[in-house]
Amino acid sequence: MDNTVFKLHEKDARLLDKYIKNRIITTTITSPPYYNMKDYGSEHQIGFGQGYQEYLNDLKDVFQKIYDVTKENGTLWIIIDTFKENNKVIPLPFDLTAKLNDVGWLLQDIIIWKKDKTVPWSGNGFVQRKFEYILFFSKNKNFKYYLDRVRVYDTNYLKKWWVKYPERYNPKGKALDEVWEYAIPTQGSWGQKYIRHFCPLPTDMIGNMIQLSTDEGDVVLDPFAGSGSVLSQASYMKRQYIGFELSQEYIEMFNKYLSKTWQDGNKKYQQFNSHNSTQNNFSNLILNLRSLKYARVLLKKLISKKTNIDIKYILVDIIGESNKKYKLIRVKYTIFLEKDSASFDTLELEIKSITSVAPLSKFGIEAVFEYKVDQSPSECSKNYYGYTITNTHSTFGEVTLENIPPKVKVLSKIKMDLNESDFE
């Protein structure tokens, strides 16, 4: 592949097949020109001055050509909005989706981009516009999509319920929802490095799209590049980029902007990648909370059955990762019984019936059980953290098997000392 293709071309997007000859595009991220609402100052522009069907057909032609040069596992992101004409709303996102369906693009998701400003503005029968649609397409049913990369795992941004209900939270973090909140960059807010453009896209939002659908070294395309927000973000994130733009002014701004900001933008990306350790810490925290709560819930279920089984306490020890489907970790639960309690066989049957159904079957834990009556001398000498039957996210304190307070029913080397009020 000629490396001269990896740049922002001063060419019409309708001619992109003249410059991209092979299937090299992994994802396309773009916001098509606003239909008949903004004159971008080019004689051959798409949108302004066209009839609606002509506009749709031109866009279909562009996205057909993009389809042809996209890899089989490739994707397409389109930021687009409805508008009003002749006293009625024109559902452009859905009209365009029908056109792209004919091309072969598969609509995978519709995301709402919630922002402070947008176009068109409010009018009679048309409230102020605060969002646009993000349409996400794939070329085939098997496509690149890395949801874990963009999960929210900073506990300051999670509801406090993750502390008491860790089984409801993915250990990698909370998945993005269908509403993305990113304000449009304010004109001049980036000082001398800022690119002036009719509607610049937020760089963090673009970064999410790139993280979700590409790997380093992949090629990102924007056929309506404008001032190059997509291309610059792709470059920061070690992706190749190709863009098309009719305005020489925008191209010159992009080249100057990229040269001034690349170092800072790439540094920000490197810092983001370094957060993997933070995500791993969150994952370990969730799995620890699940492991302890599993023992507490099991104990409460056994008590509620009113059997003759008299459990003194449960000792919790994480063994490692699980190879079983739908299970994340292996945890050993050593159950200590009173001497005159029911037989181990009876207890085993009760535990099997409890753990094979929700909620415990949904914890992602491969539980290994051991049953004892007496402690060994080596166990007695060890210090453990104790937990009550009502709380396994905040330890009762350190204990030994020889001196266990009556309230303590769950023991472990895992130390949890979380206060829900800290995460209000």
Tokens of 137: 């397409």
The 10 Å Cβ neighbour count of residue 200 is 20
Q: pLDDT digit string (tens) for 292-330?
A: 999 999 999 998 877 667 888 999 999 999 999 999 999
Using DSSP, state whether 251 is helix, strand or coil: helix
Supply the pLDDT for residue 2.
Answer: 59
Supply the pLDDT for residue 76.
Answer: 98
Instruction: Give the integer Cα–Cα distance in Å for 187 and 3.
Output: 33
The residues of the chain scoring below 50 in pLDDT are 39, 188-198
Supply the pLDDT for residue 189.
Answer: 40
Supply the pLDDT for residue 188.
Answer: 44
Closest CA to 112 of 56, 182, 60: 182
Spans of all domains in the chain: 3-274, 278-423
Supply the pLDDT for residue 239.
Answer: 97
Which burial class, exposed, middle or buried, applies to 385 when counting CB atoms under 10 A from its CB (0-12, 13-18, 19+)? buried
Q: pLDDT digit string (tens) for 217-238?
A: 999 999 999 889 999 999 999 9
Supply the pLDDT for residue 382.
Answer: 83
DSSP state letter for 245: -
Closest CA to 244 of 23, 94, 33: 33
Q: Mean pLDDT score of the chain, rounded to an integer?
A: 87
Instruction: Give the integer Cα–Cα distance in Å for 248 and 32.
Output: 18
Supply the pLDDT for residue 186.
Answer: 57
Within 70-154, residue ranges assigned H as helices are: 92-103
Supply the pLDDT for residue 40.
Answer: 53
- Distance, C-alpha 75 to centroid of its chain: 16
Please give the C-alpha separations between residue 404 and each of 9, 67, 338, 382, 409, in angstroms, as whole numbers. Answer: 73, 67, 14, 12, 9
Tokens of 372: 């004892």
Instruction: Give the integer Cα–Cα distance in Å for 57 and 216.
Output: 33
pTM for this predicted structure = 0.84
Supply the pLDDT for residue 231.
Answer: 96
Supply the pLDDT for residue 105.
Answer: 98
Closest CA to 96 of 139, 68, 56: 56
Fold designation for 278-423: GMP Synthetase; Chain A, domain 3 (3.30.300)
Task: Give domain 3-274's CATH number out of 3.40.50.150, 3.30.470.10, 3.60.10.10, 3.30.420.40.
Answer: 3.40.50.150
